[in-house]
Amino acid sequence: MRDTLHEASVEALLPSPRPVQLLDPTGAPVAQSGTRRPYPMPSADRLQDVWRHMVLGRRFDLQATALTKQGRLAVYPSSRGQEACQVGAIRSLTARDWVFPTYRESMALVTRGIDPVEVLALLRGSAHCGYDPPAQRTAAQCTPLATQLVHAAGTAYGLKRRGEDCVALGFIGDGATSEGDFHEALNFAAVFDAPAIFFVQNNKYAISVPLSKQTKAPSLAYKGIGYGVACEQVDGNDPAAVMAVMDAALDHCRSGRGPFLIEAHTYRLDAHTNADDASRYRSGDEVTAWLERDPIARLEAYLRASGLLNDDQANAVRQEAEALATDLRNRMNTNPEVDPMSLFDNVFASPTPQVAEARAMVEAEIKAEMNAEMQTAEEVTR
């Protein structure tokens, strides 16, 4: 009996043998078979909503990419092609849930309702973080790999201790699953039954390193089993499937059954950042093949075939997207007013002696430079 119970508990952790899919690349519904959990199709309202936000998200992403070429952003990691992951995951959450993004989740943060200009402050270089994390219940975007997952696990546990019905969603890329923080976060969350969802966007490359050079695991989703974390893998270019799996993960967490790991199989259509030359490590044919799995086109085909979207509605959303892009472009073309001393704000809740010392040093240098400029100006006017 004990062995039977053990086998059942292990079985409950396993991901489906193949990525969950509700819509094929043409937008046709897929009959469910071989999945370990039931995944009903999301409602029509939710599918229409996520399609709209994917269209808006992609237009934002394209505009942000253009801003790097105009010198308005120092760097931008595009998420074009990963709209179903970022938008589908975010639109499955409630406003009370927390989000812990990587540097690539700008689209996700805009979808969450954060001002696009505030989202891009980090990549513009005008602030460590342009928005208020506690107010948005969204952590600052994270450049170090996987460190945000430890914060997500701890926050989830803290929310549980407070009795709040909240979930912490931590985004991560496939390359970051090789980092120690990833494993520490999963282990902590499992031991303390923290309501955390770890969402791996497996876009096949850790910058230029292919997945085959990172792991021999049959799927990254299996990495959670050793820690006692329930897992699932999903077609990350199928918005309906992403939302369905997110619904299952959220129910798992909210019902007190601990954390959940999702691996979304997707693809980064653009380079790692605007500073990367992706042609050095992947072929054009590979990119073309993934273009045919476009998540926006896939869901649009389903909505049109189901009578849930027509030309007028689609054009209205695309006009809305253009208006948002124009507004972003106009506001980003204004140089931000930056106080150098703000560099030391919000580093710690209470400034440490080291931060205070660094602040005083920079303040002294600025004053010395201003005094020198004034002296030079006086000499010129004499």
Sheet holding 260-265, edge to edge: 98-100, 168-173, 196-202, 260-265, 230-235
Q: Backbone dihedral region of 275: left (phi > 0), alpha (psi from -120 to 50 degrees) or beta?
A: alpha
Kindly provide the residue ranges of all beta strands, DSSP E only, lying in 94-166, ordered along the sequence. 98-100
Q: Which of 281, 282, 304, 329 is catalytic?
A: 281
State pLDDT tens for residues 174-202.
Answer: 999 999 999 999 999 999 999 999 999 99
The catalytic position among 272, 293, 298, 302 is 272
Q: What share of the chain is helix, strand, coil (3-state, %, to 5)?
A: 55, 10, 35
Residue 281 catalytic? yes
Q: Which residues of the chain have pLDDT under 70?
A: 1-8, 382
- Residues 128, 126: Cα–Cα separation, whole Å: 7
Per-residue pLDDT, 343: 85
Tell me the pTM: 0.92
pLDDT at 1: 43
Look at residue 337 in the predicted model and tell me its pLDDT: 86
Is 151 part of the annotated catalytic residue set?
no
Is position 265 annotated as part of the catalytic site? no
Q: Which of 46, 72, 104, 268 is catalytic?
A: 268
Instruction: Give tens-digit pLDDT for 248-296.
Output: 999 999 999 999 999 999 999 999 999 899 999 999 999 999 999 999 9
The closest alpha carbon to 136, from 89, 93, 194, 172, belongs to 93
